[in-house]
Structure 1
Amino acid sequence: MLKIAWTSEYCHPLPANHRFPMEKYELIPDQLLHEGTIASANIFHPEPLDERHILTTHDAGYWQKLRTLSLTRSEERRTGFPLSASLVRRERIIAQGTIDCALFALQYGVSMNIAGGTHHAFTNRGEGFCLLNDIALAANYLLINELASKILVVDLDVHQGNGTAEIFQITESVFTFSMHGAKNYPYQKQKSDLDIELADRTGDDEYLTILKSNLPRILNSFEPDFIFFQSGVDVLATDKLGRLGLSINGCRERDRYVLEICKTNEVPVVAVMGGGYSPEIRQIIEAHANTFREAQELFF
């Protein structure tokens, strides 16, 4: 069964003029349920992550600032969010959701978090709408509990997974692979194990050729026993922050390829949704929904 993490607390209330499209977290499950891709039994509702797990990945001093809502004004601006207790709780729930998804993926081959992909959160700071790094937290959970020994992060959001790269910069058991816009945020990149920088307006054919020539090579050389897939849809040509040129069909082919290679190689995979900022919300929902459709079709 495809298990999907979702809770109404993903839809954290923000000022009406905030550019981050939080409404997608309500609309994605509604669409999937309406069309019959999933049923209510596919959805589970995670609880907030315990702080002992947070401290496996994030500095105690940084967590103390989040817990007590005492980020400096500069630190808060860097996150892009007005800091609040409900926002910190939301981030803890997202992170627990990705850990729970990892456990379900070990059982069913794949699991998905309707939120997640908070790859700009560093060991000691938040950035770019990310306070806690759910991928890193879940990867460390698997490693600490000896549920996986070699983890591959496939980050295909249009923005480099800079926080994930920093967290695992000296961790040989985690391989970080990021394909992202060369001229896009973050403007000061970190060093992943493999970074591929893409020119503005890179389209379907070139993008998929690059992905298909690199991902099998990584699997063959690193031999992961678990994969986290950051499946941001801000690679779309319509995305107002993306600067790449993928069509919705190209993005769907990207997702199918990644999920199919995981299934073929019998490597459990968790997909997290990442970014998506097209002006028309229907384009964001359709692109994200395709990721779930492909997972359901390929695995079940």
Structure 2
Amino acid sequence: MQVFYATQFVLPLPAGHRFPMAKYQLLRDRLADELPAVQLRQALPATDGELALAHSPEYIQAISDGTVDPVILREIGFPWSPAMAERARRSVGATIAACRAAFNEGVAGNIAGGTHHASADRGGGFCVFNDAAVASRLMQAEQLRRGRRLRVAVIDLDVHQGNGTARIFRGDDSVFTLSLHGQKNFPFRKEASDLDVDLPDGCGDDEYLHALEGALGELERRFDPGLVIYLAGADPHEGDRLGRLKLTWDGLEARDRRVFEWAWERGLPLAFAMAGGYGKRMEDTVQAQVNTFGVAAQYWQRWQNRRR
């Protein structure tokens, strides 16, 4: 299973910064040690033209040369640096590459990505560029060159609403945005996805999985995708310091398995990204993500068996 990374670009964050930058390298190391089915590949950077499929040229240029409005930088939550700009491009490039690999092999992943708070002309919430939005539009363009009109379902199960993705695709009936998130969590001013499912603080496994089942049923009734992009946030876990939900390890694994099974049953290629995770113990966030890759590898193997 092809998995794309940009862990060599580490943001120079100030001491005490709450973003767990080290989790990406820890995840990559765990995957290399524990999942022999995973083939780790370095992501290429998204080009200006690719980024412009979802972002304004002015914003792309400002991120590239460091002339970002300080207000927007504060909303993003990272200081500007060349590494920040390059990592943002590579994170998008990783989801692009995962989508292309998924068309060939059924399932592929991005160690980072899921930067769903970025909209066309600004970032926010630790998100610079919106990888799912850029990848969706690029896959549509590439498939159109082959004479196929592609519809994309973005299944966003990060605990925070995918406001940037919703805003970018507002009024676009070729992309379906589904967000299952904490009702009282960030962002406090939400955008309208095609389907939003608000969850109460303290929501546990049974309530969450029931809501997910209903959401997938509604997605299927309203939309017929040819590609799924799955944001597999670790932050619904009960050990997350920002999540406010109470999913157990078993609940998170059941969530992942249900999404992969849903795509598998319909023969839909699926690319996934890690999105958020802010465990009180970083090891818990990494474990949740390792578990997601473990489930993904099982479904990747199913695809390979189907192709033989």
Q: Structures share a fold, TM > 0.5? A: yes
* Alignment check: 8 A CA contact 1:37 1:296 kept: no
For 2:198, what is the secondary structure of its paired residue? strand
Quick one: distance in 1 between partners of 2:223 and 2:125?
29
One-letter amino acid of the structure 1 residue matched with residue 5 of structure 2: W
Query: Which residue number corresponds to residue 255 of structure 1?
Result: 256
Query: Which residue number corresponds to residue 28 of structure 1?
Result: 27
Query: Which residue number corresponds to residue 13 of structure 2?
Result: 14
Query: Which residue number corresponds to residue 96 of structure 1?
Result: 93
Quick one: distance in 1 between partners of 2:98 and 2:160?
23
Residue range with higher mean Cα deviation, 244-253 or 133-142: 244-253
Of residues 123, 137, 142 in structure 2, which corresponds to 1:140?
Answer: 137
Provide the TM-score with structure 2 as the length reference. 0.93
Q: 1:248 to 1:13 in 2, by over 3 A?
A: farther
Listed as ranges, the matches of 1:107-146 within 5 Å are: 107-146=104-143
Quick one: distance in 2 between partners of 1:100 and 1:279?
31
Shift of 1:285: 1.0
For 1:223, what is the secondary structure of its paired residue? coil
Quick one: distance in 2 between partners of 1:36 and 1:97?
19
Q: Deviations over 1:139-188 (max 9, x none)?
A: 00011122651100000000000000000001110000001001000000
For 1:43, what is the secondary structure of its paired residue? strand
Q: Deviations over 1:181-231 (max 9, x none)?
A: 010000000000000110000000000011012203312431111000000
Query: Which residue number corresponds to residue 272 of structure 1?
Result: 273
Query: Which residue number corresponds to residue 155 of structure 1?
Result: 156
Please report the RMSD computed on the Cα atoms of aligned residues, expressed in angstroms: 1.2
Query: Which residue number corresponds to residue 85 of structure 1?
Result: 82
Q: 1:36 to 1:52 in 2, by over 3 A?
A: closer
Query: Which residue number corresponds to residue 246 of structure 2?
Result: 245
Provide the TM-score with structure 1 as the length reference. 0.96
Quick one: distance in 1 between partners of 2:115 and 2:248?
24
Quick one: distance in 1 between partners of 2:69 and 2:218?
43
Listed as ranges, the matches of 1:47-66 within 5 Å are: 47-66=44-63
Q: Deviations over 1:44-67 (max 9, x none)?
A: 111211111111110112112112
One-letter amino acid of the structure 2 residue matched with residue 28 of structure 1: L
One-letter amino acid of the structure 2 residue matched with residue 59 of structure 1: S
One-letter amino acid of the structure 2 residue matched with residue 138 of structure 1: A
2:191 is the alignment partner of 1:190: yes
Shift of 1:10: 4.6
Quick one: distance in 2 between partners of 1:291 and 1:193?
25
* Alignment check: 8 A CA contact 2:10 2:83 kept: no
Query: Which residue number corresponds to residue 286 of structure 1?
Result: 287
For 1:9, what is the secondary structure of its paired residue? coil
Query: Which residue number corresponds to residue 227 of structure 2?
Result: 226
Quick one: distance in 2 between partners of 1:109 and 1:245?
31
In the alignment, structure 2 segments of 5+ residues that lack a partner are 302-308
Quick one: distance in 1 between partners of 2:10 and 2:83?
10
Quick one: distance in 1 between partners of 2:63 and 2:278?
26
Shift of 1:115: 0.3
Residue range with higher mean Cα deviation, 211-220 or 179-188: 211-220
Quick one: distance in 2 between partners of 1:123 and 1:36?
36
Shift of 1:74: 1.3
User: Once the two structures are aligned, what percentage of the paired residues are identical?
Assistant: 39
Quick one: distance in 1 between partners of 2:173 and 2:272?
22
Q: 1:10 to 1:253 in 2, by over 3 A?
A: farther
Quick one: distance in 2 between partners of 1:247 and 1:174?
31
